[in-house]
A and B are shown apart, each in its own frame.
Chain A
């Protein structure tokens, strides 16, 4: 099957849906494709917490204060122009969503704004109760349904971009329900595929977050930036088994009620790791990266909880206080058999967000003509560490901007679609052999373990070198010929295609991580502890033949982070 459009958007999360709306508003025809169902596949629908924007509803605020917090969190590596866009345009998008009836919680007449870690004042909006992501997703999808000329297509996995003479002219996709290959001719293409945290054993990812967009961009000739910076959320839920809830839900609990982190000896250990750098996390003793370090170190020293993390205790908080603050959540916990007044839960660092991504300019252009990117799929605005609440704002802001710019590009250029350029990807799909003896689902699990153990939050040259060798071996083992099992919903072929991308992306994290011989933000090296001013540098990466080309850039920074 062949489709044609002005703008093709890959991924229907917050960024992709916002891009679709703006591209359509600018008069372009749009196809928005997702490998899952529209609005349900990625991180956006799963986010339960808060969204940061300097609305100034609770306390006087300005985007410049927000920017200075963002730059401080990024530890010298933010692309300031991109970060500024998020902070400056964020309030407009939050109010636009409000007008679309997303339902931001109210504090009397005002939109409620709460204090979140790393922000200097109450700046974060939310939808009750823990419904931010679902409400955002539903609101944007409703807008899409009512917009003209947007074709929404679920169950369509984009396999490769099509590049003719250095210009992106469309994509090749796999229609999951039937196994049919689909070609899509587009004058411009936007990558809005979200992050890569599925690469890790413990994560908050959906099954669609294996980093497809980074692989698509690399193979199309685009550059990635800051790929070594994967954010680990320190107190992700570990045990007992909890379903129906966001694994990062303990953050607001702890922020409001001061949960205690305990090791196996039931001793509070945070103070042992506290340093003077307290600014970035407001009320917390430790910032996200230091808390991750503290828990990982306790586990390594044999003082971990049974499931391999730390205990988090709210037993000092009276039941009525718990209820008053988190009533509906307490009920959900009860349904999971968890009573916080009587038991500790176990938490551990989980891969949660990716700072790095496709390198773009302030018009969301990649270096490849016709190719744009937005949302978590891009890198640059967060530097070495992201401030909480900025990710959804950035999905809106960058999504909208990518939509405008991709539409503009589509209007100014004619289609350079080339069936010949699409042939390699079609041949790849066509060459699949029926074979389900490899157990690729297990290989995905093996890769996740490898990444967690060797390319996790604490790295050494030896571990990273081993990881790169092992990833290369897995790439060789996977081969270049896909395997398949059935026509409809071919789980085996999907695993093969996923692994093809995940392995490439895993390597694109490990290689710059090995090169960066310092510790900064989310990248911590046991063999190079401490920040090295000489490394106030962004690393970029592109494909060159079979290998990677690693380059260095001086960060685009005009002001000195406070």
Chain B
């Protein structure tokens, strides 16, 4: 027996919120440091809006918009000593911009395919790559993982580069860092991306798979295989064992087994962990068998 308040209704108190629109990364970071948990960074705000609407978080008193910080809106080619072109995508670049940018969606097909699988076109015009990754279950993450992307963050006058895989393995509790962008290489070869959802489009992911590889047609083998999976409520992971199995010329059956081992065990009201494992393993094994057979 207890008194129950109904704080879920408080989420609509929009009149309280103030919006900062700093011009530099440094300013944004300072503001966040000043307001702490009373502030939230916001770029497109699509994911945040869904959370506010659902009551899973409350519209904070301060929003720190990243929309005026020029480097966060940019897609740039980086100087690179290696052969592959390196790319930096600002955290506040919209998915639609990535989709249509010749250096991004155009030149990195895996990223382009992943972006197209997110939500619907209107949402992609507002949602950003940073928001998708910060949600920790966005559909872009498997693609970025397969591309060995690096997450660039800012804190106290310093920029830090960290492999995305490493960042994901952390607990995400480091509020002091502002994610400013992502770096990745345009790798050659082939790729595919597959999102298994609850319906054909605009759906939460049940399991999302990103895969890049090169086919050595003379040897009939696959080289440099990268496979990553994610999905709603699942921590995205690279499937290193499956990659090794595929590179060593193993049959679909061994790849299948390696994939199953690597998929995190996640179940919800829609699909069991066993289903997710089998669906991912099936699709990966079938696609790699097809790739290996030319």
A and B together in one complex: no
